[in-house]
Amino acid sequence: MSLYTTKKYYKFWWSEELNCLKDKAIKSDKMWKEAGRPRSGPIANVRYADKRNYKRKFYSEREAERRCHTNDLHDALMSKSGASFWKCWKSKFNRRGSASKFIDGLSDEAKIADAFAEHFRKTCTSFSEDQNIRLQSIYHNRRQNYVDDPFLDKYKFFKWNF
C-alpha cells in the first residue's frame, strides 16, 4: 500500500471479471461516441448492455462485501469472544484519531457554537434595509412575469412585511 492511500482505498473485493467488464463497457462507450451517440441500434444496444452488465456485477460485489462484514461481526459476537469481536470491528471500521477539538483557538463546545452562530449572523444579514427593500422589489417584478405553475401561498416560507 502506498504512503498516500488509506486502508479503504483499495477494494479488496475487486476482481479480474470486474476489470474485464469495465474495459468492455469503456470500449463500447468509446465506439458509441465515435458513431455519433446513437440512441438506438446495434451500437447503442451493445453499449447499454455492457454498461448494465458492469454496473450489475459492481453493485453485487459491493453488496457481497457488505454482507461479509456483517457476517464476520455477527460470528464474532455470537462466539461471545469480546476480544475477537472488537478486533474484527476495528479491522472493518477503525478510524484513526478523532476530529480536531479546536476551532479558531476555541475548545469549549459552547464557545465554538457561539462563534458559528455569530459568523452566520454576520454572513446572512443584509447590509441595509434599503438594499433589502430594493432586492424584494426586483424579486416581485420578476415574479410577475414568471410563466409556470401558479405560485400559491402554501409554497411560501414566510410572508413579506410591506
- For the segment 11-68, what is each residue's pLDDT rounded down to a tens digit? 666 788 888 999 999 999 999 999 999 999 999 999 999 999 999 998 888 887 776 6
- pLDDT of amino acid 158: 60
The whole-number pLDDT of residue 49 equals 95
pLDDT in tens, 110-150: 888 888 888 887 777 667 788 888 888 888 888 887 777 76
Q: What is the pLDDT of residue 46?
A: 94
Residues contacting residue 101 through CB under 8 Å, at least 6 positions apart? 107
In the chain, what are the helix, strand and coil shares in percent, each to the nearest 5?
65, 0, 35
Say which residues have a Cβ less than 8 Å from residue 107's Cβ, sequence separation at least 6.
Answer: 101
11: left (phi over 0), alpha (psi -120 to 50) or beta: beta
Task: Name the grid cell of 150.
Answer: 401558479
pLDDT score at 157? 64
Each residue's pLDDT tens digit, 58-96? 888 888 777 666 666 666 667 666 777 777 767 766 666
Which residue, among 100, 101, 104, 71, has the nearest Cα to 88 in the 3D structure?
A: 71
Please give the pLDDT value at position 47. Answer: 94
> What number of other Cβ atoms are within 10 A of residue 81's Cβ?
13
For residue 22, give every residue at least 6 positions away whose Cβ sits within 8 Å of its Cβ, in sequence order, or none.
54
pTM for the structure as a whole: 0.40
